[in-house]
Structure 1
Amino acid sequence: MNIFVSNLSFDVQDEDLKDFFTPYGEVTSARVITDRETGRSRGFGFVEMTDEAASKKAIAELDGASVENRTISVSIAKPKEGRSSRGNDRDKFNNGNSYNQNRY
């Protein structure tokens, strides 16, 4: 199960995030999301656990917990909404009708 963790301290690293969840079961991955330009934490991350029951227990017990003087939020990660990438919306602007076609 993929778990979303937010309101993390900017000092929390991937290994720290993994350590928070390991007491509940096997953690297959833990990743703190960082800013592409600065490399600094964005204050949230994702944890992947193999056992659904362990995942649910971790969510129930860690949601609202205090970690490094911050109250974290823990929930089931929702799939990313479909976002268009640059240039893929061009067909919305050009429907095949020329701007000048109806002027003359």
Structure 2
Amino acid sequence: MNIYVSNLSFNVQDEDLRGFFAEYGEVSSAKVILDRETGRSRGFGFVEMPDNAAAQTAISELDGATVEGRNIKVMEAKPKEDRPARGGGNFGGGGGYNKRY
């Protein structure tokens, strides 16, 4: 199961995230998402656990838990939605130009 974890302290790293979930069962991966430009944490991450029962227990136990002074939110990750590509596209709002006579 893929688990979404938000409201993480910016000090939490991948291994910390793995440690929070490891006491509930095997963790396949744990990744804190970083900002592309600054390399700093964006305050959320994803954890994968192969055992759904263990993952559900971890979600119910950790959701709302206080980690480094912050109440984290933990839930099953939703599939990534297709988002429209950036740029181009018709955003409405007229078009053309104003010509003065």
TM-score normalised by structure 1 residue count? 0.82
* Structure 1 stretches of at least 4 aligned residues deviating more than 3 Å after TM superposition: none
Query: Which residue does 2:59 correspond to in 1?
Result: 59
Mapped to 2, the partners of 1:14 and 1:55 lie a distance apart of 17
Query: Structure 2: any 5+ residue segments left out of the alignment?
Result: 92-101
The number of equivalent residue pairs is 92
Is residue 72 of structure 2 the alignment partner of residue 68 of structure 1?
A: no
Distance 1:4 1:10 in 2: 16
Higher helix share goes to which structure?
Answer: 1
2:23 match: 23
Q: CA deviation at 1:81?
A: 1.4
1:85 offset after TM fit, Å? 2.1
| Counterpart for residue 36 of structure 1 | 36
SS in 2 for 1:11: coil
SS at match of 1:79: coil
Return the alpha-carbon distance in structure 2 between the equivalents of residues 63 and 22 of structure 1.
15
Identical-pair percentage:
70
Q: Taking structure 2 as the reference length, what is the TM-score of the superposition?
A: 0.85
Q: CA RMSD in A?
A: 1.6
Gaps of 5+ in 1: 94-104
Shift of 1:80: 1.3
| Structure (1 or 2) with the larger CA radius of gyration | 1
